[in-house]
Amino acid sequence: MNARIKAYLRWSLINGIFGVSLYYGLFENVNGALNIALFMAWISAVLGSMILFIESMRKEVIKNFLKEDRVLMPGYIDITFDFVVLLTLLWFNYIWLPIFYACHIIGGFYLRNEYAEWNNKALIEKLKGNMIED
């Protein structure tokens, strides 16, 4: 299976579970779904905040992505989903979670930009290596 398809399926599965849990938890008042959604939101918020504020962690994540040749979801899809979650949490009067979730969004933005920068450098080095070998 293509790496891009795997990445899209992984993202769709995780965020699909999150989105459905958030909907049923907040709009349909299903407590179990709300617990799952809030757990996933807090995990995302805390990890995203750590990536934003701890530079060494951000670099380690990027190195692992480069090592695995990881494909990322297009930014506009990921950011759109995150903003919908953020606005939904604000609408339902959560205060601390949206603050940390906003840090997750900003951390993801920095991670994406640094990954693209490092990936371009790695590609340039690879091309230089191929030119020297030729």
Mean pLDDT, rounded, for 35-64: 89
In the prediction, which pLDDT does 59 show? Answer: 81
In the prediction, which pLDDT does 35 show? Answer: 96
Residues 78/27/97/54 CA torsion (nearest 10 deg): -20
Name, in order, each residue with C-beta under 8 angstroms of 102's C-beta and a sequence gap of 6 or more.
86
**87 pLDDT tier (thresholds 50, 70, 90):** very high
| pLDDT greater than 70 at residue 69 | no
Structural domains of the chain, count? 1
* 51 vs 90 pLDDT, higher one: 90
Of 31, 35, 6, the residue nearest 18 (C-alpha): 35
| pLDDT greater than 90 at residue 14 | yes
Percent of the chain, pLDDT > 70? Answer: 91
* 66 vs 35 pLDDT, higher one: 35
- Measure the CA–CA gap between 114 and 74, rounded to whole angstroms: 15
Domain interval for residue 26: 3-133
In the prediction, which pLDDT does 134 show? Answer: 45
